[in-house]
Amino acid sequence: MVDFGGWDMPLSYGSQIEEHHSVRQHAGLFDVSHMRALDVSGARAGECLRLLLANDVARLKDPGKALYSCMLNEAAGILDDLIVYRLAGDHFRLVVNAGTADKDEAWTRGQAAPLDVRIVARTDQALLAVQGPQARAHVAALLSPPDAARALNLDVFVGAQIGDWFIARTGYTGEDGFEIMLPAEAAEELWRALTARGVRCCGLGARDTLRLEAGMNLYGLDMDEHTHPLESGLEWTVAWDPPERAFIGRVALERLRAAGTVRRLCGLVLEERAVMRAHQRVIVPGEGEGQVTSGTFSPTLSRSIALARLPPGQAREVQVEVRGKLLPARVVRPPFVRHGRALI
């Protein structure tokens, strides 16, 4: 067990590697109740979130649809990355990271108060993630036929309230599956029902190797308040249109984009047998130096992979300093693995 954002979390339930492969090949179960849900409601809730988030909730035309976004400060530093759902009308739900939850909630309440927007922290809810090619079928088997049909018909990045469960087809592994928000007192029963069906319990170790294979950023390593979306591989989450939407951080972000000298977040594949880790130095020929932000051994690829922030440029071959030695690595575009398939 380790401390994670103030929560005691298991690194594994026995074998991190086996848990990883279970998600890629079958189905795995994660308790992610450490993440915090914030319900945002009121006549001006949409207006509030269009100010608060770099992505635009006006894109969420229908109930249940979800959007991934960064929440920025005035200097365009990333306060957090999160998912926002439109639940119904002017009622939204943010799901934020555990380590930043208190800060996020305070920041959100500060922006909401002048607009008479209500913020409710859903501490009464637990969150379980069921991920893998067989994950959705296992969840559906626990539902009534009509509810199972509704769940299985959800599109990617869409959620729905089905009985006492809010089921969303989202996740953090690069595999299909569901994230299920449900009353906290019902979480143990669901956990036991899924494990009884052979869904494997998974800890933080497998969660990290899976998300890195999928090329997904981790807050606090690949991005933080001192980095911005353009240098974190997240410009695709910024809604520049309409130009009159003055979201927090927009002015600074436009200035950075106009400067055109933004560092790039890239994928690295090590060519030799060693393991890249966060903070290792990266030598980029003709361009300067960068740094590994996240690194691990990929169980799917049987080699070391990493995300690294590099100087602007086009170099495709670099050297990473591992245990005092400069080892060759290839620059690639993440993801490394998606839906069980190697992409590099």
pLDDT digits (tens, 9 = 90+) for 141-173: 999 999 999 999 999 999 999 999 999 999 999
User: What pLDDT is attached to residue 342?
Assistant: 94
Kindly state whether residue 3 falls inside one of the protein's structural domains: no
Decide: 228 and 72 in contact? Cβ < 8 Å. Answer: yes
* Interval 60-109: pLDDT, tens: 999 999 999 999 999 999 999 999 999 999 999 999 999 999 999 999 99
The residue range of the domain holding 243 is 30-121+228-259
| pLDDT category of residue 11 using cuts at 50, 70 and 90 | very high
Decide: 263 and 231 in contact? Cβ < 8 Å. Answer: yes
- Residue 188, class by beta-carbon neighbours within 10 Å (0-12 exposed, 13-18 middle, 19+ buried)? exposed
Kindly state whether residue 73 falls inside one of the protein's structural domains: yes
Kindly give the pairing relationship between strand 177-183 and strand 125-131: antiparallel
Task: Give percent of the chain with pLDDT exceeding 70.
Answer: 100
Three-state secondary-structure class, residue 34: coil
Task: Work out how many domains the chain is built from and give that number.
Answer: 1
> With the CA atoms of 118, 84, 249 and 291 taken in that order, what torsion angle do they form, in degrees rounded to the nearest 10?
140
| pLDDT category of residue 8 using cuts at 50, 70 and 90 | confident
Kindly state whether residue 25 falls inside one of the protein's structural domains: no
Decide: 332 and 276 in contact? Cβ < 8 Å. Answer: no
* Angle, alpha carbons 159-164-165 (nearest 5°): 35
Q: Name the average pLDDT for the chain.
A: 97
Kindly state whether residue 182 falls inside one of the protein's structural domains: no
pLDDT above 80 for 246: yes
Kindly state whether residue 184 falls inside one of the protein's structural domains: no
Q: Which residue blocks in the chain are alpha helix, DSSP H? A: 16-25, 45-52, 101-112, 135-140, 145-152, 187-196, 204-213, 250-259
Kindly state whether residue 290 falls inside one of the protein's structural domains: no
* Dist. CA 329–CA 344, nearest whole Å: 13
| pLDDT category of residue 3 using cuts at 50, 70 and 90 | confident
Instruction: Quote the distance between the C-alpha of residue 234 and its chain's center.
Output: 11
Kindly state whether residue 286 falls inside one of the protein's structural domains: no
User: What pLDDT is attached to residue 335?
Assistant: 98
Kindly state whether residue 331 falls inside one of the protein's structural domains: no
The CATH number covering residue 50 comes to 3.30.70.1400
